[in-house]
A and B are shown apart, each in its own frame.
Chain A
């Protein structure tokens, strides 16, 4: 029973619901939570979680969920996870803040992909679910929205420092999301009449004084012009201090930042850049693609024409080559757990190494002295070995590592110089990638 990995859908946005509602800590836990689960089971439909996780994983059933909460055994905060083994993926947390803390039911649900919610009926069911929960467990504020857009909105701080945010929470209407529930305090701060007259697809007063507000019938097209207009109109209605055109302009900028961009990466480094793009946060993904589309990786400069190569100046070339081989093996030692392909010393291994160093932000994290003394020689030697093995290259050993060359076709390459340039910063890992040098060397093999 394996919960479907969110990573299988890296390029996709999700719909996220956040909900914190009051519950009665005196009542038996099961009877207090049953209504929550009834609502979930009634409305989740095609995205219903099928796995519950406490310390162990179990097939979803109410009994399994009680068991999971008990297993976790938190005294002041206890929780369990709910997942799905099928598409669409679900990552859900059900938590309970317990006395002496103010007792609250804590819910976070992420359903991926967001495009699953392009269907109006599915979205309607989702809204009904929120409505039923908010009617049963009063909230101060609850919402559902695109994760990527939520990140761009500056949530949850909205410009405040962490301390202020922790203390005040969502104490005024910083943002209007696709689906919103405003608790009585927020309603009073705006004025009940004013809130109920908000221009939106659905505005409804709940029996406990909360107000449910839905900007549009569907969640997935939040970035469309129509959706942004609806969002901006609702927001400035609730916050008359805000200027409509400013709010709308900000929302349009967010839409532009999230608009899908077709990757057109330089072919030499496309496999590397694709992995880097997969590594950045969902709200930065499209801008990163655009940046890489406009990025010409610099032409490698760590080479000389073969006829001006420096002749070997070592007494025992065989020993020098063994030393390079030993240095290269140090890179294998350092990387093999995270990059199993490093054993193979192929061009693909170089791309995997490039990515791993970038992913770890290696040049920034480790001491410069160690990088220069130990990482640079290992990387240079490894690059040289890959050229030798895959392109029929030949080491031309030198006493100084920086002068050591690998002859491939009509060029000699300086792998240790490349490695030094490469390790100078995180950006340099891309500018001086091992992948790129290999591809250029391959073309000049003659």
Chain B
């Protein structure tokens, strides 16, 4: 029975395609199955649905994203002069998972896209994009840390920077007929806390190096 239900790394069920957890699930299943065969355990492995559900409740990336969106939303409510993140906007409209298209990278979804919805003075509205990463950078050596940050910043710029074709219908009125708009700034925000390298000097130096190589991207830690 268990043998028959054995999941295959190359054949995820519908809905699990492209899910990074699937490979881990297969490894988990194999481990439990192996134990049963050896007579070491009698416990049947979990099925994919409860396994995946448990991960969903404790997905670090999603938790960080929620936190950042809450911070941005709170920032948007402040008077402009007091804002920490969104001072460049008169009236920022915060949108999540916005489909944006570029020739090189195709259709991607920006974690957050912010667009000016007030005081339009002709020309395209101000647009900024935000990419959030819960990446554990704490164990990296100096050069590896710099390499990772530059890679992430490049990727953010390529996917969510320069000129974007904004696909979301509800935003078209703000775009006034031209869905292709220049992005003023791309933000790459890493989760801080325990994922952040403890050495302040090295961290700051790495951020400076990445900013130097990829000037269109603002790299920060939260």
Contacts and interface: CB of A to CB of B under 8 A. Distances in A.
Interface stretch (B10-18, B92-100, B138-146, B179-187): B138-146
Nearest to A284: B198
A93 B146 contact: yes
A155 interface: yes
Interface string A339-381: 0000100000000000000011110111100100111001000
Contact of A333 (B54, B60, B201): B54
Nearest to A94: B143
Interface string A11-22: 000001010000
Contact of A336 (B28, B141, B204, B205): B28
Contacts of A81: 141-144, 147
Interface stretch (A70-78, A117-125, A249-257): A70-78
Interface in A212-264: none
A379 to B, nearest CB: 12
Contact of A334 (B27, B55, B63, B202): B55
A343 B31 contact: yes
B142 A366 contact: no
A58 to B, nearest CB: 14
A325 interface: yes
A166 B207 CA distance: 11
Nearest to A155: B201
Given A333-B50, A337-B24, A74 B150 contact: yes
Contacts of A365: 60, 63-64, 193
Given A76-B213, A329-B46, A378-B54, A343 B35 contact: yes
Nearest to A6: B141
Interface residues of A, number: 61
Nearest to B198: A281
B194 A92 contact: no
Main secondary structure of the interface of B (DSSP, over half): helix
B212 A156 contact: no
Contact of B54 (A76, A282, A374): A374
Contacts of B28: 332-333, 336
Contacts of A77: 150, 209, 212-213
B63 A325 contact: no
Looking at A6, A155, A367, A373, the one whose CB has the most chain B CB atoms below 10 A away is A367
A287 B114 CA distance: 44
B146 A156 contact: no
A359 B32 CA distance: 26
Interface residues on B, range: 35 or more
B146 A79 contact: yes
Contacts of A82: 143
A78 B150 CA distance: 10
A78 B46 CA distance: 48
B142 A93 contact: yes
Interface string A47-89: 0000001000000000000000000101111111111000000
Given A79-B146, A337-B24, A343-B31, A157 B200 contact: yes
A74 B153 CA distance: 13
A80 B193 CA distance: 27
Interface of B: 24, 27-28, 31-32, 35, 43, 45-46, 50-51, 54-55, 57-58, 60, 63-64, 66, 139, 141-144, 146-147, 150, 193-194, 198-202, 204-205, 208-209, 212-213, 215
Given A333-B51, A343-B32, 10 more contacts: A16-B201, A72-B147, A77-B212, A95-B209, A151-B199, A156-B200, A361-B194, A364-B193, A367-B57, A370-B57
Interface of A: 3, 6-7, 16, 18, 53, 72, 74-83, 91-93, 95, 97, 101, 106, 108, 110, 147, 150-151, 155-157, 162, 165-166, 280-282, 325-326, 329-330, 332-334, 336-337, 343, 359-362, 364-367, 370, 373-375, 378
